[in-house]
Amino acid sequence: MQTLIKKWDDLSIDEVQSIFGLRSEVFIVEQECPFQDVDGRDPEADHLLLYENNILCGYTRIFPKNTYFKEASFGRTVVKKKFRGKGYGHVLVKESIKHLKNKKEDTIKISAQSYLKQLYSAHGFIPKGDEYLEDNIPHTAMFLTIS
């Protein structure tokens, strides 16, 4: 397993195609959620790519504060179906937190799919507020204070 973080302008065309392919494979096809994944926000983010044997099997995009939310954030966190159960979701969360800590961010806000609250809680995230629908999927706002 290998992780790397790149700015949008440093991604190759093949990497961008793999990212969009993975996101649409899981969020649009697997979760049966027709939504506009390519939202124009990717150029503002750092991109965390997780590879196994040169296959993109995990991904998330990471935002500094005052970009996506008032707080720093990460989202579109995804693991390819056949690579689940290996702890890669936890790797993506840990690496995202580490990256934001290195950038001197102090608070992270995420919009978590509600069924994943336990995964994020294991990393110290605390749910705040009522559950809400985002693209017809239940979500929960969760926060983490980085020390």
pLDDT in tens, 24-55: 999 999 998 888 889 999 999 999 999 999 99
The structural domain count of the chain equals: 1
| Residue ranges making up the domain that contains 129 | 2-145
Q: Tens digit of pLDDT for each residue in 62-96? A: 999 999 999 999 999 999 999 999 999 999 999 99
Q: What are the tens digits of pLDDT across the range 89-125?
A: 999 999 999 999 999 999 999 999 999 999 999 999 9
Q: Is the Cβ–Cβ distance between 95 and 48 less than 8 Å?
A: yes
CATH code for the domain of 139: 3.40.630.30
The helix (run of H) or strand (run of E) holding residue 90 is helix 88-102
Q: Where is 14: in which H helix or E strand?
A: helix 13-23
Q: What mean pLDDT is predicted for residues 125-140?
A: 95
